[in-house]
Amino acid sequence: MRRTAIELADGRELIYFDLPGDPGRVLKDRRDLPEPPPASELRYDELAGEWVAVAAHRQSRAFLPPADECPLCPSTETFLSEIPGPYRVAVFENRYPSFSDRVGHIEPGPRSRAGEGRCEVVCFTSDHDSSFSRLSTAEVRLVVDAWADRTEAFSKLPGIEQVFPFENRGEEIGVTLHHPHGQIYGYPFVPPHTERVLAALEKNPDAFADRLERERSAERVVAANDHWTAFVPEAARWPFEVHLHPHRGVPDLPALTDDERDAFAALYPEVLRRLDAVFDVQMPYISGWFQAPVNRARDTFRLHLRLFSVRRAPGKLKYLAGSESAMGAFVNDVPPERSAALLREAKI
């Protein structure tokens, strides 16, 4: 992997990640841009025990632009994008971040503070019409290395409590740019989901190992190799939900060995292709890496990826009902054993 960092016109950082033999990428951003916005404001809900970010500047971000005005495609003579020229994988600071180190003038109070953190965009390919599932094994491995590089960098920043690389695909789940890409959030707090997992680990420090052992012997395994198992969890909340766990317990992406990264790069695109093949349509999905918090539970929280789709049948989506949205009490219309069988039997 070759790593090349440049500065965009407004001072944000962009990093090219390349394979051996790829051309150099040092190009100048020709745009005239205003300064990036200040950080959001965090407000604390003391009854829920949760932080909420208020980021009004995000209203200005691009919303489903035409392909010839895509901000994630390489710049051309007629349109200047976020990325000055051709690339293999490109990572840059989000222009409209939920969290950033540009704190501004927010005064901390008993229930508020600046949303200090970091948000980056990860462009998986310069091909606007491609998808993660169509990347080669070498290209997927390059993305994994980029995720690991950025996780390590984020973890060294002051105030970052958890690093979350993720991808959203499909208008059905709210994507505003069609170009194949994901994001990385460096949270200045431990998010609510992780707090619940940490509470469970206090009761059973071996909960991750116990779950993996149980699921590997169940009928819900979708695919596996020597280093990873992909399975539909016993208590899946979504119609199609797959978790990918490395067989060796590690806290985060930087801790994966070369063999483990190669094995993931071979298995994960297969899972994505199976997802698309179930109904022979491009499935909307959210996919995210759950890593140990930067400063807590490094010896008990185990790295894993969670992938889920809101599509429950051809032409039908799962919308969160009142009980689910308001109370967080999920009802799944598709038995996990059934969705696992459909994924295993899908023709890819």
Helix (H), strand (E) counts: the chain: 6, 16
Rounded-to-integer distance, Cα 38 and Cα 97, Å:
9
Q: Give yes or no: residues 30 and 152 share one domain.
A: yes
Q: Which tokens hold the place of 58?
A: 């995000």
Q: What is the DSSP string of 150-163?
A: HHHHHHTSTT--EE
State how beta strands 221-224 and 228-231 pair: antiparallel
Cβ distance 19 to 4 under 8 Å? Answer: no
Written in H, E and C, the secondary structure of 316-336 is EECCCCHHHHHHCCCCCCCCH
Domain shared by 294 and 337, yes or no: yes
Query: Could you tell me the residue range of the domain that residue 155 belongs to?
Result: 2-190
Place of tokens 């420090």: 205
- The CATH number covering residue 227 comes to 3.30.428.10
Q: Which residues are catalytic?
A: 181
Together in a domain, 160 and 212? no
198 shares a domain with 186: no
Same domain, 176 and 240: no
CB-CB contact of 84 with 5 (8 Å): no
pLDDT (tens, 9 = 90+) of the chain, 348 residues, equals: 999 999 999 999 999 999 999 998 888 999 999 999 999 999 999 999 999 999 999 998 888 999 999 999 999 999 999 999 999 999 999 999 999 999 877 888 999 999 999 999 999 999 999 999 999 999 999 999 999 999 999 999 999 999 999 999 999 999 999 999 999 999 999 999 999 999 999 999 999 999 999 999 999 999 999 999 999 999 999 999 999 999 999 999 999 999 999 999 999 999 999 999 999 999 999 999 999 999 999 999 999 999 999 999 999 999 999 999 999 999 999 999 999 999 999 999
Closest CA to 310 of 337, 281, 290: 281
